[in-house]
Structure 1
Amino acid sequence: MSSKEEVIQQWRRFGWENRFKMAFGKPVKLLEKEVECLKNSRERTSIWKLMITDGTTEIPLVLKIYKKPLKENHVVELNMYQIANTFLQEFMPKVYWIEPNVKSGEIWMFIEYCKPLRGQIKLDPSHYDNIIPTVAKFHAATFEKRISQHSDIFDSWLPDYTSMSMDSERRKHIEKTKEYLDLAMKDSNLRGLVEPCYKNLHRIFRKGPIFFPELMESGQSLIHGDLHIHNISCRNANENEEWDIQLVDWESAKYAPGWFDLVVLVEILIDFRKDWQKNADAIRNHCAQLYSDEMKKYGITFKTDPVQLMKMAYLQRTLEKRLLNHLRRVLRGEKSVLLERYLEKTMVWGKELGLY
């Protein structure tokens, strides 16, 4: 991936200080010693934090570099920032500009640095009261027929959860999951975990790839798709006022049931946080009802109980891909915190919701 020296070299070569002078209305310069790599992702993207100054104030920026050939999720993210940003600017960082051909066709995108929520606070369940209203407002803006008002923005590139291509993908993943369950049954370390669920999982898979029509009937919107706490930024988390939240890392954006975002935001964190698990029902019930109440403010109501919709979205997400990913991981000799939770909750909630 790009090095710190290369970032500085390209900055000088393209004269980007002049571009930022136009953006901020005053001369600025890059503080070269403070160029910092935040993330490298499998040689395809890298994320950098840059600091520029006008001599008085230091202004942080984010630079994201995409290498070609672009993957589909990178195209989605670039379109979110390049095409959808004006419509969704309340929920996203500001885009300064996108440089399309820096080196070997690389795309360099400069956006506003938004302070990550993680690190500002020690997250506890009460903080969902500050986050979920923004998530609901974001979903409501494109809920069902409302997205058709913005077809010029989204139609040509936004992945659709109900499309034939995504349906085909789900079916392939489910068949692959069955294969990995068979492999797990032959593995001495995994057999004890998988065997009690094996027959019921096969009964459940026969009902797929959409396991809950009610989830689809609850309505769809543009969703973030990877709404964990690392992808939430906030300008004022330590202040006693409504949080000003921006969402980052839009590679998984799609048109899908909004409950998938709630699952990642709330339920997956419960799976990781053992200290939350004794109060899991209370946390889940509160968050599902809060989201439902917030959506109602925008004229959106759900016929199915919100907690059931949360559980359905969790199981749908688990069965269509996540269980496969974590079986594969453990069979490779890696650790998985979530595999046991996925199996346990699929059995409990699957029975409760009539999957077997």
Structure 2
Amino acid sequence: MSSKDEIVRQWKYFGWSEKLDTVLGSESHLLEGEIECLKNSREKTSIWKLMITDGKETIPIVLKIYKPPLKENHKVEMNMYQKATRFLQEFMPKVYYMQQDVNDGEIWLFIEYVRPLRGQITLTPKHYTNIIPTVAKFHASTFENHILQHGRVSDTWLPRYDSKKLALDRSKHIEKTKHYLDLAMVEDSLREVIKPYYTNLHKMLDKGPLFFPELLENGQSLIHGDLHIHNISCHNVHESEPWRIQLVDWESAKYAPGWFDLVVLVEILIDFRKDWKKDAETIRTQCMQLYSEEMNKHGIVFQTEPLELLKMAYLQRTLEKRLLNHLRRVVRGEESKLLEKYLEKTKSWGKEFGLYE
């Protein structure tokens, strides 16, 4: 990926200081010695933190570099920043400038830097009261018919969970999951792990690709798709007023049931946090109640119990692809921190919802 020296060279070549002057409202200069690489994703994208100064104040901005050829998820994110900011600016960092065709087709995107929530706080369940209202407001803004007012902006590029294409993808993933379950059963080191779940998992997978029509029946909206703590930023985390939250990394955005965002935000974190285990049921129940109440404020009422919808979304997400991803890891000899949780919850909640006898 690009180096610090390459960033400086391109900065001067394209005259980005002058182009950013208009956006930032003052004459700006790049502090060449304070360029920091935040993320480097295996020759796909890289993310940098740059420091810009007008001689009096210094402000950070983010540079995200996309390498050609652009993958579908990168195109989605580009459209989110180019088009969706028109109606979602409250939930996204500002876009300062975009330069196409840098270094034989690279796209360099300059956006506002907002401090990640992680690093400012150690997340506790009580912090969800500061986060979930924004998530609900984001979902409500494009819920069902609300998305139609932005149709010309989003209908050609935004993936739809209820589309034939994504349904076919889910079917393919489920067949691959069955294959990797079989591979795991012939591995001495994995057989005893998989065996207690093997038969019931096959029964459940045969009921896909849409295990719970209720998820669609209770409405869809534009969702972030990867709403973990790393992708949540906040301007005022230490102030008493409501947090001004913005979301980053929009590569997984789609039109889908909002419960998938809640699975990542709440339930997957419960899986990771051993210190939350004893209070897991209380945490998920309170979070779903809060989300439902906040959606209610925007005129949205769910016909199915919110806690049931969360569990359905967890099972749907797990069976349609996540279980595959983690089975593939362990078959390859890699570590999976979530496979055990996926197996346990799929067995327990799958039985609760009648996916197997």
TM-score, length-scaled by structure 2? 0.99
Amino acid at match of 1:103: N
Q: Percent identity?
A: 69
Query: Tell me, what secondary structure is at the counterpart of 2:86?
Result: coil
Amino acid at match of 2:144: E
Partner of 2:161: 161
Residues 190-209 of structure 1 aligned to structure 2 (within 5 Å): 190-209=190-209
In structure 1, what is the Cα distance between the partners aligned to 2:218 and 2:193?
A: 34
Partner of 1:296: 296
Partner of 1:354: 354
In structure 1, what is the Cα distance between the partners aligned to 2:219 and 2:170?
A: 19
1:322 aligns with 2:322: yes
Contact 2:20 2:97 in 1 (8 A): no
Contact 2:224 2:253 in 1 (8 A): yes
Shift of 1:26: 1.6
Unpaired segments ≥5 residues, structure 2: none
Residues 1-356 of structure 1 aligned to structure 2 (within 5 Å): 1-356=1-356
Per-residue displacement from partner, 1:232-255 (whole Å, max 9, x unpaired)? Answer: 000011111100000000000000
Deviant stretches of 4+, over 3 Å: none
Query: Tell me, what secondary structure is at the counterpart of 2:101?
Result: coil
Shift of 1:24: 2.0
Shift of 1:39: 0.5
In structure 1, what is the Cα distance between the partners aligned to 2:210 and 2:25?
A: 52
In structure 2, what is the Cα distance between the partners aligned to 1:231 and 1:106?
A: 23
In structure 2, what is the Cα distance between the partners aligned to 1:133 and 1:26?
A: 35
Shift of 1:206: 1.4
RMSD: 0.6
Per-residue displacement from partner, 1:2-25 (whole Å, max 9, x unpaired)? Answer: 111000100011111101111122
Shift of 1:350: 0.3
Query: Tell me, what secondary structure is at the counterpart of 2:336?
Result: coil
Per-residue displacement from partner, 1:114-155 (whole Å, max 9, x unpaired)? Answer: 110001111100000000000000000010111011101101
Amino acid at match of 2:283: I
Contact 2:29 2:53 in 1 (8 A): yes
Per-residue displacement from partner, 1:251-295 (whole Å, max 9, x unpaired)? Answer: 000000000000000000000000001110000000011101100
Shift of 1:354: 1.1
In structure 1, what is the Cα distance between the partners aligned to 2:195 and 2:216?
A: 31
Amino acid at match of 2:178: K
Amino acid at match of 2:163: S
Shift of 1:94: 0.2
Query: Tell me, what secondary structure is at the counterpart of 1:282?
Result: helix
Shift of 1:345: 0.1
Query: Tell me, what secondary structure is at the counterpart of 1:149?
Result: helix
In structure 2, what is the Cα distance between the partners aligned to 1:307 and 1:75?
A: 34
Amino acid at match of 2:326: H
In structure 1, what is the Cα distance between the partners aligned to 2:118 and 2:355?
A: 37
Shift of 1:51: 0.2
Shift of 1:42: 1.4
Amino acid at match of 2:318: T
Amino acid at match of 1:21: D
Contact 2:36 2:48 in 1 (8 A): yes
In structure 1, what is the Cα distance between the partners aligned to 2:193 and 2:25?
A: 62
Per-residue displacement from partner, 1:162-221 (whole Å, max 9, x unpaired)? Answer: 111101100000000000000111111111111111111111111110001111111000
In structure 2, what is the Cα distance between the partners aligned to 1:38 and 1:154?
A: 29
Query: Tell me, what secondary structure is at the counterpart of 1:83?
Result: helix
Unpaired segments ≥5 residues, structure 1: none
State the number of aligned residues.
Answer: 356
Amino acid at match of 2:160: D
In structure 2, what is the Cα distance between the partners aligned to 1:170 and 1:134?
A: 29
Shift of 1:30: 0.4
Amino acid at match of 1:35: I
Query: Tell me, what secondary structure is at the counterpart of 2:243?
Result: coil
In structure 2, what is the Cα distance between the partners aligned to 1:215 and 1:166?
A: 15
